[in-house]
Structures are given as C-alpha cells and as structure tokens.
Amino acid sequence: MTPFGKRLRELREERNVSQKQMAAEIGVSAAYLSALEHGRRGQPTWDLLQRIITYFNIIWDDAEELQQLATISHPRVVIDTAGLSPEATELANLIASGIRMIDRETILSLTEQVKAARKRRKTIRS
C-alpha cells in the first residue's frame, strides 16, 4: 500500500463509502480504485486526483496533503544516482534490493533521517 492509497482508504472509511460507490461517482472501475489503494497502480492522474478531491469535498491544506501523497506514492521507484557519490549509489542499491527485509522501525527511522536532511538542505539554500 502506498501513502496515497492508505489515505484514500482512510477517507473512504471515515465517510462510510464503499469502493464500488466511490468508483462509480468518480468514473473509474472498483478494480482500479482497489489497485490504487493497494499500490498496484502508480500515481493517479491530475484529473483523477481532482475528481477525488472534489468527491470528498477536500479543501486547501488537506487537498495539498493528498496531492503530495500522490506525488510520493509511485510503487515502482527509480533512483538516478548519476553524478552522486559511490556511497549514494551503494545506498540506493542496498535499499532497492533489500527493502522487503527492512523492519518497519528502521524504515520509519530512515524516513525521518531523509526528511531531516532535506529540511537542512532547504534551509542552507534559503
């Protein structure tokens, strides 16, 4: 399941809406919606994302959050390490080949470390 799929399911459950009901309203099949929730489909198109936002009547910050989740939710990730250090390439390959063996706690820790590094980088550039 992707971060977007998880949030989509939460929105449906909060509003007591079935996949079948929602799919019919936004113009996709229930099978597609299920695949999107379970991470078997990539990012939704901009148009579909807007239909979902409209369907749930999501505004401002919540809509932006959903858009950001869609951006980081492609289940097949490609990491381009061209021009980076050998250590960065090694890290990318280790994660790619070993992601299924990494426990949840380690994944959460690594995620926070990467987010903190991005934040520090943005602060330096500003």
Predicted confidence (pLDDT) at residue 93 exceeds the cutoff of 70: yes
Cα–Cα distance, 12 to 21 (Å, whole number): 10
* Stated length of the chain: 126
With CA atoms as reference, report the closest residue to 93 among 106, 77, 107.
Answer: 77
SS (H, E, C) 48-82: HHHHHHHHCCCCHHHHHHHHHHHHCCCCCCCCCCC
User: What pLDDT was estimated at residue 125?
Assistant: 72
Predicted confidence (pLDDT) at residue 57 exceeds the cutoff of 90: yes
Mean pLDDT of 118-124: 84
**Residue type for 71, please?**
T
CATH number attached to the domain at 3-71: 1.10.260.40
Predicted confidence (pLDDT) at residue 64 exceeds the cutoff of 70: yes
Cα–Cα distance, 112 to 120 (Å, whole number): 12
CB 19 within 8 A of CB 37: yes
Predicted confidence (pLDDT) at residue 75 exceeds the cutoff of 90: no
Mean pLDDT, the chain, whole residue set: 91
User: What pLDDT was estimated at residue 43?
Assistant: 85
Q: Hey, where are the domains in the chain?
A: 3-71, 86-125
Orientation angle between helical segments 3-14 and 30-38, nearest 10 degrees: 120
- Minimum mean pLDDT range among 1-10, 36-45, 71-80, 106-115: 71-80
Predicted confidence (pLDDT) at residue 126 exceeds the cutoff of 70: no
pLDDT tens digit string along 6-44? Answer: 999 999 999 999 999 999 999 999 999 999 999 888 889
